[in-house]
Amino acid sequence: MKLVRRLASIVDWIFHRQRAEQALADELQAFVEISAAEKMRDGLPLEEARRLARLELGGVEQVREQVRTYRHGGWLDEIGRDVRYAFRMFVRNPGFTFVVVVTLTLGIGANTAIFSLIDALMLRWLPVRNPQELVQVAFQPPSPKDAPGTGFSYAIVRAFASQREIFAGVAGFSSFTFDVGSREAVRRAPGALVTGGYYETLGLQPAAGRLLGREDDEPGAPLVAVISDGYWEREYARSPDAIGQTVQLNDIPASIVGVSPRGFTGANVGSVADITIAVAALPQVDASAAPLLGPGNFWLRVLARPQSGVSVSQASARLNAVWPDISGAVIAPHWPASRRQAMADSVFQLLSGGTGWSYLRNIYRKPLLVLMVVVGLVLLIACANVASLLLARASARQKEMAVRLALGAGRGRIVRQLLIESTLLSLVGAACGIGLAGVAGRFLVSLISSGPIGPTPLVFDLTPNWHVLAFTSGVAIVTGIVFGLVPALQTTAAGPSATLKEDARTSSSRSKLLPSLVVAQVALSLILLSGAGLFVRTLQNLQSLDPGFNPEGVLLVDSEGRRTPLPRDVLENVQRLPGVLSASLSTHTPLSGSVWSEPAVPAGQPIPEKDNAYFVGADPGFFATMRIRLVAGREFTDRDSANSAPVAVVNEVFTARHFANQSPVGQHLSANVRGRRTDLEIVGVVKNTNAAGLRLSPPPTVYVAYAQLRGDFPTTLAVRATGPLGQAASAIQRALQSAMPGALIDVRLLSRQVEATMVQERMMATLASGFGLLALTLTCVGLYGLLAYSVAQRTREIGIRMALGAQGTRVVAMVLGSGARLVIIGIALGLPAAWAASRSVGSMLFGLTPTDPVTVAGATVALAAAAQMAAYLPARRASRVDPLVALRHE
Amino acid sequence: MDKLDIPQGTLDLMILTILVREPMHGYGISQRLATLSHDSFQVNPGSLFPSLYRLEQDGQLKAEWRPSENNRNAKFYKLTASGRRQLEQHRRRWDRIAFAIASVLEGA
């Protein structure tokens, strides 16, 4: 009650301020008059009575100030006044305000952009019921060398789901791409395969119709699909009639049973699932993917909700306790005994699962954290700049502060005023920064999307949520306090009398603080520049690496809409197209992200359990198309057909490993090809290729003749063309499309596929050098500002020196020297810091050590050169000081 | 006689006590306080008015403008029901404090 009344009166004061102030003034006036009247009654003359009465009151203004301050809500009032005062100040100094706000916008915007990506990728809860209860199941194989696994077989997920006393629900899921529509108009749609407990476990309610349940995830169940709210809106305009309609998935009719709730696009963060079907229905839409349901394929991610009352640690203890009993039934029976044992000995961990799962997390966690540190340093540099601007301006306001101190304002009061000014500046910067971050965040996502992004396009929700807003305003307030406090304390430290007496220009206390800010900026910039250099040179090293094949001029053609190999006659048509040098089919192209491995050893040796070589099915002409050089023997020819003896070409690593000191050509290999024991005759040896990844050493590889493969294999057509690749691409597209109407023909560049594997390095190189340049610019501005300020302060001294005969060049040297001293100290401090910082990114580098002397030297030279240029402008201005003008100025 | 500082936290109690008899304006309150304390307490308007404003904000006092005894319009403060309750509480607490202090001093 009291509180309500108090609030009401505070609000009343704010809104009827004028009236309240007037009433207070009237009341105090009455006090004086009544008091004077009493005194006159006691016999004092009018003038004397009034004077005494006013003395008694002690000053109308002071009492009014006391009432304003000590009444409830007085502090609010004062802050309001400070804010208004601060805004008036900003309007009076538009240049200062602009520079500060732009600097802070860049600093805070960069931080917000990186943070919102981290938030979207790693921190955001799934839009499901009580996401914090969800756990992700992972297993640690007995050998600690192996990384923990998060993929599980369908059988294991079903076994988990049957443990009702541990889990209230278990959801297995994987992304999948559907070809939607009839043969004439096929489109790709990103989707998901989920187990029967998926929607129930996540606790979702349908936006329309029903969601999938256990009965849909049984063999033989009718093929039904759930669509996302977004897909419902785009394709069906939210029509209720969509429920029950039939949609062609890979040419198989599926009926739509429901729409998932708005905002939910699957548990796989970063990829949207527009169409979701049950795992058990997979063989119906894609017969070739049926083996995925077997016990040997670990491909489903698992989120589970522990039974209520069961803690996460109890759940994982119970799961590990029951695993030996259930493992026998779900581990692939065809596995070798040792592998079965290893799986049975695995230990399960329950990780926090409320943020879903994303393969991108493993790839981008470290780069994003490194970038977060980088933008943090950029913000520090920006803060240093703003602090020196405020310090420089504070000296101009020293008199104003002194007057206010003398008039009775407390030091705390003035510090608060200055802090409010700096916090307001940073809040304005934060508001602009959020806008900048929206643009920058989209740019970041497009950078990441240019990489190998799996089966579905990358979609991130980057709209600022409370995490991001809290982060940004937190950064802004801390920033405001950090760069505002020092100038505030400095300005008020001297006390009124010293400043008022002294000429403000000669105050010397700032002379240490400003230079040390610049030294810190130089040191931080050196860290960022040498880091940027390391990332740029890593990218250059990867780009200039010879991968063993030549990706330039090669087009790759896929036709996944059909999921059947390209017909032979089509291949011949393509080979006859103008500009086409060679064309060949293969099962796997280098760096496509998908690989095939098998065990293969010289004939006579036992075939090992583990795969030991990459396998590639290749047509005649494959090596010519890829420009993989033949070292010995021959390539595949048209005579290597399904009816002739199986042949193979191996690479040099394979040769070195298995045929030391002898030529492998003519020797035989024993291999398991798709589980079938095969004898292969080696007919040739080729150069190595970095097929597993540019950073990885070339894997031992066995090429087998494409025509001799039996069974379903993925097939890509590789075409080497001369002239403009765009023309060749559209010619190929036309030729294939007329041969295969309705099929999805996808033509892309091999060079793009290679570049896609460098997306993380490219992101780091681009962003680190962008932020490095920003840091360098801010530092140069800081140094320039400091020197320009000190030249302005020393105009008179410089004038005297020149009047006494100092040459212009000598004055330039003096100013440059004072700048160089700061830069040298900054570099001396920055070098060890850069050395320490770069060691932590060692694993992200390629082809150079973290302490690469050339990079560090380059960064140092660039920094020193830029700093000297920044110092030159004020130096030149100093040398043009006219002694007469400078001296008369006094 | 030398003036005494008004003990911390007792100004509100004294204001409420003075106003229990009749509504008064600021000057009147300060005069009555001086008279009742035999000129030991002289309240400074810089403390008196903020206290009056706070008590009014808390609803313990109500104010109205009306002519004073010498026909000058003045703001008269008057106790509200909640002010009366507050005064009783304050008073009981103060009595206990005074009794406690007296006991300690006599016992020593």
Name which residue leads in pLDDT, B86 or A413.
B86
pLDDT at site A531: 94
Subunit contact A24:B54, Cβ cutoff 8 A: no
pLDDT of A455 strictly over 50: no
pLDDT at site A839: 87
Of A480, A424, A433, the C-alpha closest to A111 is A433
Q: Which of A5, A30, A63 sits opposite B46 (nearest CB)?
A: A63
For B87-106, the pLDDT digits (tens) are 999 999 999 999 999 999 98
A2 → chain B, closest CA residue: B58
**Residue to substitute from A67, A68, A69, A72, interface B, most B β-carbons within 10 A:** A67
Q: Which two tokens stand for residue A786?
A: 């400091």
Question: Residue A227 CB: number of other CB atoms within 10 A?
Answer: 29
Closest-CA distance of chain A to residue B107, Å: 40
For A266-294, the pLDDT digits (tens) are 998 888 899 999 999 999 998 878 888 98
Q: Which CATH architecture has domain B11-107?
A: Orthogonal Bundle (1.10)
A46-55, A228-237, A505-514, B87-96: segment of lowest average pLDDT = A505-514
Chain A residue numbers with beta carbons less than 8 Å from the beta carbon of B73 are: 26, 30
pLDDT of A671 strictly over 80: yes
A830 and A525 in contact (C-beta within 8 Å)? Answer: yes
Of A554, A558, A556, A555, the C-alpha closest to A745 is A558
**Residue to substitute from A11, A46, A70, A76, interface B, most B β-carbons within 10 A:** A70
Subunit contact B27:A34, Cβ cutoff 8 A: yes
Chain A residue numbers with beta carbons less than 8 Å from the beta carbon of B74 are: 27, 30-31, 34
Subunit contact A30:B59, Cβ cutoff 8 A: no
pLDDT at site A629: 94
Subunit contact B57:A67, Cβ cutoff 8 A: no
Chain A residue numbers with beta carbons less than 8 Å from the beta carbon of B70 are: 34, 37
Subunit contact A72:B54, Cβ cutoff 8 A: yes
pLDDT of A247 strictly over 70: yes
Closest-CA distance of chain B to residue A86, Å: 27
pLDDT of A452 strictly over 70: no
Where residue A384 falls among pLDDT bands split at 50, 70, 90?
Answer: confident
pLDDT at site A381: 92
pLDDT of A638 strictly over 70: yes
Average pLDDT over residues A3-14: 75
Q: Which of A35, A58, A70 sits opposite B27 (nearest CB)?
A: A35
Subunit contact B45:A30, Cβ cutoff 8 A: no
pLDDT at site B47: 87
For A538-563, the pLDDT digits (tens) are 999 999 999 999 999 999 988 764 44
* Angle at which helices A808-839 and A759-793 cross, to 10°: 150
Which contacts qualify for A827-833: CB closer than 8 Å, 24 or more apart? A827/A522, A827/A523, A827/A526, A827/A860, A827/A863, A827/A864, A829/A519, A829/A520, A829/A522, A829/A523, A830/A522, A830/A523, A830/A524, A830/A525, A830/A526, A830/A527, A831/A526, A831/A856, A831/A860, A833/A523, A833/A526, A833/A527
**Residue to substitute from A3, A66, A68, interface B, most B β-carbons within 10 A:** A66
Where residue A505 falls among pLDDT bands split at 50, 70, 90?
Answer: very low
Subunit contact A2:B59, Cβ cutoff 8 A: yes
Exposure pattern of A312-335 as b/e (b: 16+ CB <10 Å)? Answer: eeebbebbeeebeebbeebbbeee
Chain B residue numbers with beta carbons less than 8 Å from the beta carbon of A35 are: 27
Q: Which of B27, B50, B59 sits opposite A66 (nearest CB)?
A: B50
A722 and A538 in contact (C-beta within 8 Å)? Answer: no
A71 → chain B, closest CA residue: B54
Give the start-end residues of each E strand in A500-633. Answer: 554-558, 580-586, 597-598, 600-602, 613-618, 630-633
Closest-CA distance of chain B to residue A131, Å: 45
> Computed from CA positions of residues A593, A598, A603, A606, in that sequence, does the dihedral angle turn out positive or negative?
positive
Task: Kindly list the domain boundaries of chain B, sorted by start residue.
Answer: 11-107
Of A382, A383, A529, the C-alpha closest to A833 is A529
pLDDT at site A500: 59
For A772-799, the pLDDT digits (tens) are 999 999 999 999 988 988 888 788 888 8
pLDDT of A264 strictly over 70: yes
Interface size, chain A vs chain B, as Cβ–Cβ contacts under 8 Å: 75
Chain B residue numbers with beta carbons less than 8 Å from the beta carbon of A70 are: 50, 53-54
Q: Which two tokens stand for residue A427?
A: 């809040």
For B9-61, the pLDDT digits (tens) are 789 999 999 999 899 999 999 999 989 988 888 888 888 998 998 898 888 99
CA dist A552 and A754 (Å) reads 10
pLDDT at site A183: 66
pLDDT of B62 strictly over 80: yes
Where residue A613 falls among pLDDT bands split at 50, 70, 90?
Answer: very high
pLDDT of A508 strictly over 80: no
Of A467, A401, A482, the C-alpha closest to A434 is A467
Q: If you search the block for the tokens 């505002």, which residue do you land on? A: A484
For A685-714, the pLDDT digits (tens) are 999 999 888 988 999 999 999 989 887 788
Max CA-CA distance within chain A?
Answer: 137
pLDDT at site A743: 73
- The mean pLDDT of chain A is 87
CA dist A844 and A755 (Å) reads 17
Where residue A217 falls among pLDDT bands split at 50, 70, 90?
Answer: very high
CA dist A686 and A548 (Å) reads 10
Task: Kindly list the domain boundaries of chain A, sorted by start residue.
Answer: 2-72, 92-124+361-507, 131-354, 513-544+758-890, 560-744
pLDDT at site A570: 80
For A424-442, the pLDDT digits (tens) are 998 899 999 989 988 888 8
Subunit contact A35:B75, Cβ cutoff 8 A: no
Subunit contact B45:A57, Cβ cutoff 8 A: yes
pLDDT at site A41: 86
Name which residue leads in pLDDT, A834 or A11.
A834
List residues of A whose CB lies inside 8 A of any B CB: 2, 5-6, 9-10, 23-24, 26-28, 30-31, 33-35, 37-38, 56-58, 62-63, 66-67, 69-73
Subunit contact B73:A24, Cβ cutoff 8 A: no
Closest-CA distance of chain A to residue B23, Å: 15
A4 → chain B, closest CA residue: B58
Q: Could you give the angle at the alpha carbon of A525 between the alpha carbons of A523 and A528, nearest 5°?
A: 115
Chain B residue numbers with beta carbons less than 8 Å from the beta carbon of A6 are: 57-58
Task: Tell me the backbone φ, ψ of residue B103, rounded to 5 degrees.
Answer: -60, -45
CA dist A233 and A224 (Å) reads 19
CA dist A104 and A110 (Å) reads 10
Q: Which of A30, A38, A70 sits opposite B74 (nearest CB)?
A: A30
pLDDT at site A242: 92
CA dist A56 and A34 (Å) reads 12
pLDDT at site A394: 77
pLDDT of A5 strictly over 80: no
pLDDT of A376 strictly over 70: yes
CA dist A544 and A531 (Å) reads 20
| Global ipTM | 0.89
CA dist A144 and A585 (Å) reads 40
pLDDT at site A560: 61
pLDDT at site A184: 67
Strand-pair category, A300-306 with A676-686: unpaired
- Alpha helices (H) along chain B: 11-21, 26-36, 45-57, 81-107
A54 → chain B, closest CA residue: B45
Chain A residue numbers with beta carbons less than 8 Å from the beta carbon of B50 are: 66-67, 69-71
CA dist A861 and A878 (Å) reads 25
pLDDT at site A568: 72
Average pLDDT over residues A207-235: 94
List residues of B whose CB lies inside 8 A of any A CB: 25-28, 31, 44-47, 49-50, 53-54, 56-59, 68, 70, 72-75
Task: Please tell me whether residue A145 adopts helix, strand or coil conformation.
Answer: coil
CA dist A769 and A763 (Å) reads 10
Q: In angstroms, how far is CA A657 from the centroid of its own chain?
A: 41
pLDDT of A503 strictly over 60: no
pLDDT at site A494: 64
pLDDT at site A653: 94
